Structure 1
Amino acid sequence: MHMKWRANPAGWPSAHRHLLFAAWVLPFVPGLAPAQDIPEVSYPAVVEQAADAAGFVPEGWRLEQTSDGDLNGDGRDDLVLVLKMDAAANRIDNTALGPDVFDTNPRMLVAALAEDSGGYRRVLADHALIPRPYSPNLDDFLWEDEGGGVKVEEGALRVSLHMWASAGTWFTSNTSFTFRYRDGCFRLVGYDQWSRHRAGDVFTTVSANYLARRAWRAEGSISDEGEPERIWLRLKKQPLRCLEDVGDGLEFDPGLPSVES
């Protein structure tokens, strides 16, 4: 069991500039499982309509998490599901750092809107935003105790990814995306990230509001009292992107300028 510093985001919003995630995990660090050792998978189609959450689960998958809430403003509770593949072939024996058995089974994020006639209609099935496990040295990206998770809150879909490695990188982060259902898809309206290099005392935060086209970044010290100074930034005017266009949530570039514009 390893001891680790734990962020408390209650004092500051969770945010940071984009980090090149691929550079964090070095290919020759002992104990890291190389990507080529991960079995290939095929993602099944998810049915378009179902009477309940269980009806959207393809064969060979399991329902890991269910959240509900009104996503489209019609007064009915809709569904957001986290599905996880359940294949023995994706559970790998691990003789290096990390658990003895490394579970590489991927997840899918599914959302379905309540229908007038009953049941639900699928409007989202994505397997990119929540990264597939690729190294036994990494915490579960959706570990709720450490800031990860999927939930419906105030009519929005929020997906938070936790990043912590026991070897291979000193960087840790919590990254959150806020989506609202508009014009047929879940549009990215907010991005927040908090990160720290654990060898130092400095953390960085970034928060972007794509509706207001404003963002801020700040750097602070764990030992400082109070909130760090925020540098405000103006975002370029552009269409709000759909969740399916975001891709891997840990590789996403929020598009923040380096200076106020």
Structure 2
Amino acid sequence: MKESILLTCALIFFSIKPSSAQKYIPADLIPKGYVLFEEYSGDLNNDDRKDYVLIIKNTKEEKIVKNRFGDVIDRNRRGVIIILTKDNEYEKVVENKDCFSSENEDGGVYMPPELWINIEDNKLKIHYGHGRYGYWEYIFKNLDSEFKLIGYESSESNGPKVLYQTKIDFLKKEKTLSENTTKDPAVEEEIFEVISYDIKIDDLLRLTEIENFEDLDMTKY
């Protein structure tokens, strides 16, 4: 009787034990020496499953420093991991560990730009907001099992008034520049002069190839 009860318990245990395909969670895929800074989720490959974008941060002790005001801050760089969900398994498809600067960089006379992530229409948008001065944004899409840069947008402002806008479509190989001809802040009306031209590009830039987003030069296109 005792042996029968033990056998029944063992069968119940193995029947409810989670499968090995579900034993990981996205945070388990963070490399050693890094911590999770932010987590985003959304569908990145148009399969109606929740995928994950993890912003990770290095933990080097020598990067804990004092800034020019005497405050102790963390100047460790940040990176990105993209994890796709496939048949209840997590697959790490992108790991770029140090492509973003620290959130505590010296912004000079103004605060450093703020980094955040948007997932829209199966695209990954890496957005830098610079308050009243505008923003710039890099748009990536999963193509041929690689996240490639397909678009770029930027806006230069003076307070609420937009002065210049730039849009680059790397798939169409086209760049559009818009200049506000009424730059006077006292004039509320905005009238844009728009020019578009073709750009030359051989290969789309991969997210894994970017060593430092601060070094990307979109003016060369």
Query: What is the TM-score when the length of structure 1 is the normalising length?
Result: 0.63
Letter in 1 for 2:192: P
Letter in 2 for 1:68: S
Shift of 1:105: 1.3
2:34 to 52, 61, 67: 61
CA contact (8 A) 2:136 2:155 kept: yes
CA contact (8 A) 2:77 2:99 kept: no
Letter in 1 for 2:62: A
Q: Percent identity?
A: 22
Whole-Å Cα distance in 1 between the matches of residues 167 and 120 of structure 2? Answer: 18
Aligned residue for 1:102?
73
Q: How does 1:83-122 map to 2 (within 5 A)?
A: 83-94=56-67, 96-97=68-69, 100-116=71-87, 118-122=88-92
CA contact (8 A) 1:50 1:120 kept: no
Q: How many residues align?
A: 193
Distance change in 2, residues 1:202/1:174 (3 Å): closer
Larger radius of gyration: 2
Write 1 or 2 for the structure with the bigger share of strand.
2
SS class of match (2:193): coil
1:188 to 149, 153, 163: 149
Write 1 or 2 for the structure with the bigger share of helix.
2
Structure with the bigger RCO (C-alpha within 8 Å, sep 6+) is 1
SS class of match (1:113): strand
SS class of match (1:244): helix
Shift of 1:244: 2.2
Whole-Å Cα distance in 2 between the matches of residues 53 and 186 of structure 1? Answer: 18
Whole-Å Cα distance in 2 between the matches of residues 132 and 253 of structure 1? Answer: 20
CA RMSD of aligned residues (A): 3.0
SS class of match (2:48): coil
Aligned residue for 1:161?
128
5+ residue gaps, structure 1: 1-48, 165-170
User: What is the CA deviation profile of residues 35-61 of structure 1, one whole-angstrom value per residue up to 9, with x for unaligned ones?
Assistant: xxxxxxxxxxxxxx9721221223443
CA contact (8 A) 2:106 2:112 kept: no
CA contact (8 A) 2:76 2:101 kept: no
User: What is the CA deviation profile of residues 80-120 of structure 1, one whole-angstrom value per residue up to 9, with x for unaligned ones?
Assistant: 110112344322123x24x712320111100011121x231
Distance change in 2, residues 1:177/1:163 (3 Å): same
Whole-Å Cα distance in 2 between the matches of residues 222 and 131 of structure 1? Answer: 34
Shift of 1:250: 2.5
Query: What is the TM-score when the length of structure 2 is the normalising length?
Result: 0.74
2:135 to 165, 174, 180: 174
Distance change in 2, residues 1:113/1:135 (3 Å): closer
CA contact (8 A) 1:161 1:249 kept: no
Letter in 2 for 1:188: L
